[in-house]
Structure 1
Amino acid sequence: MSKILSLKEINNDITIEKMELIINLYEQGTLTKKEASKLAEYLLKKFKAFKPQKEKKEQYEFILDLCISLTTIKRAEENFETYYLKSLKEELVKAKKM
Structure 2
Amino acid sequence: MKIRNIILILIPVLLFACTALKPVEKLTDNELIDRYYKTDLNLYMVKKAAAKSNPSNLPGVPGNTSGGDAEKIKKIESKLAIMKQEMNKRGYMP
Which TM class, normalised by the smaller chain length?
Answer: 0.3 to 0.5
Structure of greater relative contact order (alpha carbons < 8 Å, 6+ residues apart): 1
